[in-house]
């Protein structure tokens, strides 16, 4: 019987040979590929990283929007407007001395203003409308115009019934009741017609009429 040799190998068997890539020790070493700085940055530029980087900015924007909304309207939906520019334009282009309510308390909040002086030329008929939310949380409006057939006047005065006169602020106002049951105070000043009306109580409408006077530029 032949000697099996070391570890029981038969003479005709060859021991396993290391692969060329194994080196002298027989262990396999993976090849290392150099990564450029550009490739490294690109690997970090993933969707998850983008979301994480934008998250702080998004939170800041939401906080700013929320704080702004609370400051503008914490519990009150009323949108207050500045009537100054429209009044100044109407005064500049009207062919009559403009009369407007002035010096009203802060509780009178201006909610609307409109004038056709924007589209007119100096001397053309000019209509000015201003609306307020009164301290009683009702609506009061003022109209002045030297135009004929002006809707803001006709809409209230057409069909209104006379109800005598009222002495307010040293002026005589005709008192009427509109078809909607609202009080309307009206008078003329030269070529202009003035109107005070709304759902506000008579005391507030009288206060608005008493505040009417010649426009004084700020």
Tens digits of residue pLDDT in 122-163: 778 999 999 999 999 999 999 999 999 999 999 999 999 999
Identify the three-state secondary structure at position 44.
helix
Backbone angles phi, psi at 87, to 5 degrees: -65, -45
For residue 115, report the phi and psi dihedrals to the nearest 5 degrees.
Answer: -145, 145
3-class DSSP state of 132? strand
Residues in the chain: 218
Contacts of 121 (CB under 8 A, 6+ apart): 93
Question: Mean pLDDT across the chain, nearest whole number?
Answer: 81
How many of the other CB atoms lie within 10 Å of CB of 110?
17
- Domains of the chain, by residue range, sit at 24-72, 84-214
Each residue's pLDDT tens digit, 31-86: 555 656 656 655 555 655 665 666 565 556 554 554 454 445 556 678 999 999 99
CB 125: neighbour CB atoms within 10 A?
A: 18
CATH of 84-214 given 3.30.200.100, 3.90.1150.10, 2.40.30.60, 3.30.43.10: 3.30.200.100
């Amino acid at each position: 019987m032949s000697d099996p040799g070391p570890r029981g190998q038969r003479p005709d068997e060859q021991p396993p040979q290391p692969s060329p890539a194994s080196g002298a020790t027989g262990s396999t070493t993976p090849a290392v590929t150099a990564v450029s700085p550009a490739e490294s940055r690109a690997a970090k530029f993933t969707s998850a990283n983008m979301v994480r980087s934008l998250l702080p900015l998004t939170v800041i924007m939401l906080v700013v929007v929320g704080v702004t909304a609370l400051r503008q309207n914490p519990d009150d939906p009323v949108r207050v407007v500045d009537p100054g520019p429209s009044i100044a334009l109407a005064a500049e282009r009207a062919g009559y001395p403009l009369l407007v309510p002035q010096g009203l308390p802060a509780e009178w909040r201006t909610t609307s203003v409109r004038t056709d002086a924007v589209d007119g030329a100096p001397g053309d008929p000019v209509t000015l409308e201003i609306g307020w939310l009164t301290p009683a949380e009702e609506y009061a409006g003022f109209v002045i115009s030297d135009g004929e057939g002006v809707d803001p006047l006709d809409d209230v005065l057409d069909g209104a019934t006379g109800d005598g006169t009222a002495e307010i602020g040293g002026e005589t106002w005709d008192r009427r009741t509109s078809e909607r049951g609202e009080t309307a105070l009206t008078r003329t000043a030269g070529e202009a017609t003035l109107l005070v009306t709304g759902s506000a109580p008579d005391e507030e409408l009288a206060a608005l009429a008493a505040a009417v006077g010649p426009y004084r530029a700020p």
